[in-house]
């Protein structure tokens, strides 16, 4: 097994005699949880039939054949002997995290990020670091938004909302930039200096090399030029495939989802009674769930035909497609209401309903469904045991082992594209939809940031409890950043500049006429100025702290030393074979 672990910011083959050079984890161990899990899977799946014939195996009066060069565990899974391979919770560390993190309400946003990284891996730790930072930063616009509602600014009242708008856009841009700094600092602390999936993409080099013709390999016909041409062809072919698939999704949204959303918004407006509106909303929610699932399955099938470079690229493609579906579902009703009525007070009521009801229901469903699933499976398992053992009649029957209990817990999987994403897909989707709602309609209801801040503080502990109590221990993923979600957050900032400018125009032009006074021209100028501020701040704040860059430079010499020793060792072995 070729084991690559981090040494001074690079990933090199592990050598026991060079152990001092390799980066230690934050808990003092040499290997991260992801590396240990990879080793475990390699060992248990590495038991293969190395004999020259098939081996007949028996289990519970069931006979099956173990083929040559076949993994024993793979065969046992196919025969149903092994139901599932999954990592167990470490009870000591789990209870410690429960006490110090999930049930610790003294500091609303504090989290033991290094302990989370050691227990769950890089991807989940990065999510909680982002969520914690987002929750802390939300207190700034929340306080400003609260002040706009409680303080009477007198003759300057007409400047309050434009001022709040400028503050919110500046806040969002700075938040995303400082998150990039924090992310790079965390990766440096954990000994990760690039996205780990980049190493998987190197397999494409051998794939393209294998596609060379025999004549090209034999005569070496400008091999560098040929491989470069094949790389370029492969790259642009993948781009064209993604453009085609994205166009299919966009057309489906415009031709199918948009009319459906507009019809719902229109019927909701003309409904005469509240009972009719609730019934209409219930039918809409059921229908939209089926539509979203169908759209997700179509997206996953389209991704299979894309020429994506690695798992992370496929995952990013799924994120963009799924967000397009949910973007239309979440915001088209608000856009329709704002453009039709041009009533800020009515829009505020809709925002309150959408945000509070959506977030409360989402958290309730997110945390109750795993518990209900586990309780139902546990009841079925105990009932089967009770029926299977006549001696236990009149006695209470319980699951005998912790493995049985954890096996019955739901897995941390995505609602769309479970083969490409884990449960963080749904958690990040919830965050982006909330961010889009509070940003794109900030001027309509500044107090909405208070609701978002309160929700995210609760979300921190709820997600922690969900992972530690209600679900199986997630399989560690190698992603080291929030990936495509960061691009979506930045896209929503640009959208927020445009939508809030339109809201300000509607607010100061209540008669429905385009007028210069009191602020149409100023608002248009402000839109362009904020776009400049957005791109200016993006370059003003460095994405990487200076100490991270300095450490990388300091470690280069040590990394080169280890590489040189490994190269000399390989040359010596090769010369020994020749002798």
Instruction: Give the DSSP per-residue string, 33-72.
Output: HHHHHHHHHHHHHT-B--SSS-EEEEETTEEEEE-TT-BH
**Residue 106 within a domain:** yes
pLDDT band at 9 (very low <50, low <70, confident <90, very high): very low
Mean pLDDT of 218-235: 65
Mean pLDDT of 65-84: 88
Mean pLDDT of 21-34: 70
- 493 and 572, same domain (yes or no): no
- 510 and 556, same domain (yes or no): no
- Asked if the model's pLDDT at residue 50 lies above 70, the reply is yes
Determine the pLDDT at residue 97: 93
Phi and psi dihedrals of 111, rounded to 5? Answer: -145, 140
Q: How many CB atoms lie within 10 A of CB 179?
A: 20
- The DSSP string of 308-347 is -SSHHHHHHHHHHHHHHHHHHHHHHHHHHHHHHH--HHHH
Structure tokens at 76: 């046992």
The residue with tokens 């029957």 is 397
- Asked if the model's pLDDT at residue 296 lies above 60, the reply is yes
Q: Are 456 and 432 in contact (CB under 8 A)?
A: no
- 177 and 254, same domain (yes or no): yes
Question: Is 384 in a helix, a strand, or coil?
Answer: helix
Mean pLDDT of 477-490: 86
Determine the pLDDT at residue 464: 93
**Residue 363 within a domain:** yes
pLDDT band at 12 (very low <50, low <70, confident <90, very high): low
- Asked if the model's pLDDT at residue 343 lies above 90, the reply is no
pLDDT band at 575 (very low <50, low <70, confident <90, very high): low
- Asked if the model's pLDDT at residue 268 lies above 80, the reply is no
Question: Is 32 in a helix, a strand, or coil?
Answer: coil
- 490 and 552, same domain (yes or no): no
**Residue 171 within a domain:** yes
- 11 and 113, same domain (yes or no): no
Structure tokens at 67: 């083929």
Q: How many domains does the chain have?
A: 3
- 539 and 553, same domain (yes or no): no
- Asked if the model's pLDDT at residue 51 lies above 70, the reply is yes
- pTM, entire model: 0.82
Per the DSSP assignment, residues forming a β-bridge with 65 are 56
The Cα–Cα gap between 499 and 329 comes to: 17
Q: Which of 82-91, 106-115, 509-518 has the lowest mean pLDDT?
A: 509-518
Determine the pLDDT at residue 449: 93
**Residue 319 within a domain:** yes
Q: Are 232 and 241 in contact (CB under 8 A)?
A: no
Determine the pLDDT at residue 144: 94
The Cα–Cα gap between 116 and 134 comes to: 17
The Cα–Cα gap between 71 and 368 comes to: 38
CA dihedral 220, 226, 228, 229 (to 10 degrees): 180
Helices and strands, number each (H, E), in the chain: 22, 4
- Asked if the model's pLDDT at residue 512 lies above 90, the reply is no
- Asked if the model's pLDDT at residue 214 lies above 60, the reply is no
Q: Which of 135-144, 299-308, 318-327, 379-388 has the lowest mean pLDDT?
A: 379-388
The Cα–Cα gap between 229 and 216 comes to: 13
**Residue 85 within a domain:** no
Determine the pLDDT at residue 139: 95
The Cα–Cα gap between 416 and 427 comes to: 12
Upstream peptide bond of 518 is cis (omega within 30 degrees of 0): yes
- 164 and 277, same domain (yes or no): yes
Angle at which helix 311-341 crosses helix 223-252, to 10 degrees, equals 30
pLDDT band at 275 (very low <50, low <70, confident <90, very high): confident
- 490 and 536, same domain (yes or no): yes
**Residue 378 within a domain:** yes
**Residue 218 within a domain:** no
For the stretch 406-449, pLDDT in tens is: 888 888 888 887 777 888 888 999 899 899 989 998 988 899 89
Top-ranked range on mean pLDDT: pick from 59-63, 178-182, 245-249, 352-356: 178-182
Determine the pLDDT at residue 511: 46
- Asked if the model's pLDDT at residue 507 lies above 80, the reply is no
Residue 17 structural domain: 1-46
- 521 and 551, same domain (yes or no): no
- 337 and 447, same domain (yes or no): yes
The Cα–Cα gap between 76 and 116 comes to: 33
- Asked if the model's pLDDT at residue 300 lies above 50, the reply is yes
For the stretch 172-210, pLDDT in tens is: 999 999 999 999 889 888 877 654 444 444 444 444 444
- 490 and 558, same domain (yes or no): no
Q: Which of 348-357, 455-464, 500-509, 510-519 has the lowest mean pLDDT?
A: 510-519
- 557 and 539, same domain (yes or no): no
The Cα–Cα gap between 578 and 313 comes to: 43
Classify residue 391 by its DSSP letter. Answer: G
Top-ranked range on mean pLDDT: pick from 355-359, 373-377, 524-528: 373-377
The Cα–Cα gap between 350 and 356 comes to: 10
The residue among 115 and 538 whose pLDDT is bigger is 115
CA dihedral for 389, 391, 397, 402, sign (positive or negative): negative
Residue percentage of the chain with pLDDT more than 70: 76
Determine the pLDDT at residue 570: 67
The Cα–Cα gap between 331 and 337 comes to: 10
Structure tokens at 450: 């208070």
Top-ranked range on mean pLDDT: pick from 10-24, 256-270, 549-563: 256-270
The chain-wide mean pLDDT, for the chain, equals 77
The Cα–Cα gap between 311 and 479 comes to: 10
Determine the pLDDT at residue 217: 46
**Residue 395 within a domain:** no
């Amino acid at each position: 097994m070729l084991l690559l672990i981090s040494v001074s910011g690079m990933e090199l083959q592990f050598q026991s005699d060079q152990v001092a050079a390799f980066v230690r984890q934050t808990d003092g161990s040499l290997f991260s949880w992801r590396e240990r899990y990879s080793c475990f899977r390699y060992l248990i799946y590495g038991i293969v039939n190395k004999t020259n014939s098939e081996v007949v195996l028996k289990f519970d009066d069931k006979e099956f054949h173990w083929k040559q060069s076949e993994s024993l565990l793979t065969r046992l899974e196919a025969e149903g002997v092994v139901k599932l391979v999954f990592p167990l919770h470490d009870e000591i560390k789990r209870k410690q995290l429960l006490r110090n993190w999930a049930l610790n309400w003294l500091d609303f946003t504090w989290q033991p990020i290094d302990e989370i990284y050691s227990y769950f891996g890089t991807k989940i730790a990065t999510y909680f670091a982002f969520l914690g930072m987002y929750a802390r930063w939300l207190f700034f616009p929340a306080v400003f938004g609260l002040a706009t509602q409680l303080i009477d600014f007198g003759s300057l009242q007409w400047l309050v909302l434009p001022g709040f708008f400028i503050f919110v856009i500046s806040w969002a841009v700075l938040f995303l930039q400082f998150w990039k700094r924090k992310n790079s600092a965390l990766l440096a602390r954990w000994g990760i200096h690039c996205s780990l999936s980049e190493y998987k993409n190197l397999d494409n080099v051998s794939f393209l090399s294998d596609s060379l013709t025999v004549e090209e390999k034999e005569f070496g016909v400008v091999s560098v030029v040929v491989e470069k041409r094949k790389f370029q062809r492969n790259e642009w072919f993948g781009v064209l495939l993604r453009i085609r698939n994205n166009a299919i999704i966009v057309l489906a949204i415009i031709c199918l989802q948009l009319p459906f959303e507009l019809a719902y918004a229109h019927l909701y407006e003309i409904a005469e009674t509240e009972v009719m509106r609730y019934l209409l909303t219930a039918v809409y929610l059921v229908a939209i769930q089926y539509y979203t699932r169908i759209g997700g399955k179509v997206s996953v099938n389209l991704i299979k035909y894309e020429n994506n470079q690695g798992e992370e690229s496929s995952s990013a493609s799924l994120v963009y497609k799924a967000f397009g579906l949910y973007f239309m579902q979440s915001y088209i009703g608000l856009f329709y209401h704002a453009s039709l009525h041009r009533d800020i007070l009515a829009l505020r009521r809709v925002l309150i309903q959408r945000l509070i009801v959506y977030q409360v229901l989402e958290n309730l469903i997110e945390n109750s469904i795993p518990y209900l699933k586990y309780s139902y499976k546990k009841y079925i398992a105990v009932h089967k045991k009770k029926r299977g053992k006549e001696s236990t009649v009149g006695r209470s029957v319980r699951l005998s082992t912790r493995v049985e209990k954890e096996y019955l817990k739901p897995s941390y999987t995505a609602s769309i594209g479970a083969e490409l994403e884990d449960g963080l897909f749904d958690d990040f989707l919830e965050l982006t939809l909330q961010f889009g709602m509070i940003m794109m309609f900030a001027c309509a209801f500044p107090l909405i940031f208070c609701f978002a801040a309160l929700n995210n503080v609760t979300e921190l502990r709820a997600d922690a409890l969900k992972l530690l109590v209600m679900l199986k221990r997630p399989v560690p993923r190698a992603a080291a950043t929030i990936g495509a979600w960061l691009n979506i957050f930045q896209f929503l900032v640009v959208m927020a500049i445009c939508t809030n400018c339109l809201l300000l125009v509607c607010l100061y032009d209540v008669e429905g006429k385009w007028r210069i006074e009191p602020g149409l021209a100023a608002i248009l100028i402000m839109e362009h100025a904020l776009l400049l501020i957005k791109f200016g701040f993006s370059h003003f704040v460095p994405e990487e702290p200076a100490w991270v860059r300095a450490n990388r430079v300091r470690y280069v010499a040590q990394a080169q030393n280890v590489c040189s020793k490994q190269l000399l060792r390989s040359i010596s072995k090769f010369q020994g074979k020749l002798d």
